[in-house]
Amino acid sequence: MLRDALKQGPVWALGAMSGTSLDGVDAAMVLTDGAEIFGFGATAYRPYTEPERAVLRAAMGRWEDLEEAASVVETAHMDVLAGFSGVDLVGFHGQTTAHDPGGRGTCQIGDGLRLAHGLDVAVVWDFRSADVDRGGQGAPLAPFYHHALMRHVGETAPVAVLNLGGVGNLTLVDPAIERASEPGACQAFDTGPANAPLNDMMRARLGLVHDEGGALAAQGTPDAAILKRLADHAYFRKPPPKSLDRNDFIWLEEAVSGLSDADAAATLTAAVAQSVAAGLRHGSVAPARLLVTGGGRHNATMMSSIADRVGCPVAPVEAVGLDGDMLEAQAFAYLAVRVARGWPTSAPGTTGVPFPVSGGILSRPDDVLSLIGP
């Protein structure tokens, strides 16, 4: 069985990530035994087409009637993942359309068994549901990988890893603690809105996918009243663990509707930095530095705004030799190996789940496809 084979040393795992920014699918290979990282392999990116992106945007916030969106997700992933070779295991994040831990739960689309059949490789998928079912937030899920990475690159002091995707999430790592599931090794939570409101505004007003380099925001002035309204939101007073749905701060788009393009971009960019600074104040430890991954690190205005608001040096993860474009995809490769071996992928410090949980479904190519549905 695959589970037994994976108990023997490092394997090449292929991870795929389609985030809340809805730009496309990242895919990356990692050589790992599920504890340590031994190397990095090939990477690829498959952007969503505008029609595909429109289908996915329409699916955000929905819990049902998601067949068309699921087909988009599965097709795009098959396109990019089929181009890899030498893969022992796939980690397939799928797409989150709605997230309400403590309420309706979490809604993930994309059928990993279909991918297992199409790729003829075992696939681990639906990483969040088990955590949510056991009382966790189901997010963020990359912290265990962040912990392994910081040990891999030789960090010794506490460090913060910030992912700026559609939503921002923060991991505070103590690399001196060997296992990510141990108390104090990781504290993680969503910080607030990141690229999603800004990207949506840029697309709606200017037909652009993002504010390239933060050039438009650099020309504008943030609206102080909107930022104060954001700061007063109850989410920022709530202690971790906590997580967000992509649409939880959708009111920001309406709030900036009366501003010029530049001022709207500046306000939405400053909102990200303000949220990150508020998140760090909830941290259990003061980090020696903040390393940034995800698309937001390419936005110079966003990066400088964050640096102005936090009390430690800020740098992209490339400063320690990592690939910030592929780090989240790598995370799901790493987590897939942990799931296949029955090891935890979340813990009280990362999602608030009462005890460490191994979350995910392992589907093999010889599993019966009809059991999952039409």
Average pLDDT over residues 332-350: 97
pLDDT grade for 102, boundaries at 50, 70 and 90: confident
333 occurs within a structural domain = no
334 occurs within a structural domain = no
191 occurs within a structural domain = yes
Q: How many domains does the chain have?
A: 2
125 and 268 share one domain: no
Strand partners, 167: 193
Residue 311 sits in a domain of what CATH number?
A: 3.30.420.40
158 and 132 share one domain: no
330 occurs within a structural domain = no
Judge whether residue 4 has pLDDT over 50.
Answer: no
279 occurs within a structural domain = yes
What's the confidence (pLDDT) of residue 372? 41
56 and 192 share one domain: no
pLDDT grade for 368, boundaries at 50, 70 and 90: confident
Give the tens place of pLDDT for each residue, 108-149: 999 999 999 999 999 999 999 999 999 999 999 999 999 999
- Cα separation of 311 and 281, whole Å? 10
Least confident segment among 52-56, 82-86, 156-160, 365-369: 365-369
45 occurs within a structural domain = yes
98 and 169 share one domain: no
Judge whether residue 95 has pLDDT over 90.
Answer: yes
- Supply the pTM of this predicted model: 0.93
315 and 367 share one domain: no
Judge whether residue 371 has pLDDT over 60.
Answer: no
Give the tens place of pLDDT for each residue, 260-273: 999 999 999 999 99
Strands in 167-173's sheet, in edge-to-edge order, are: 186-193, 167-173, 159-164, 290-293, 314-316
> What sign has the CA pseudo-torsion 350, 354, 356, 357?
negative
H helix and E strand count, the chain? 14, 13
Both tokens of 76, joined, read 């795009």
147 occurs within a structural domain = no
Average pLDDT, the chain: 94
277 and 364 share one domain: no
Domain range for 107 is 2-137+355-371
65 and 179 share one domain: no
Strand partners, 124: 91, 362
Give the tens place of pLDDT for each residue, 207-246: 999 999 999 999 999 999 999 999 999 999 999 989 988 8
What's the confidence (pLDDT) of residue 20? 77
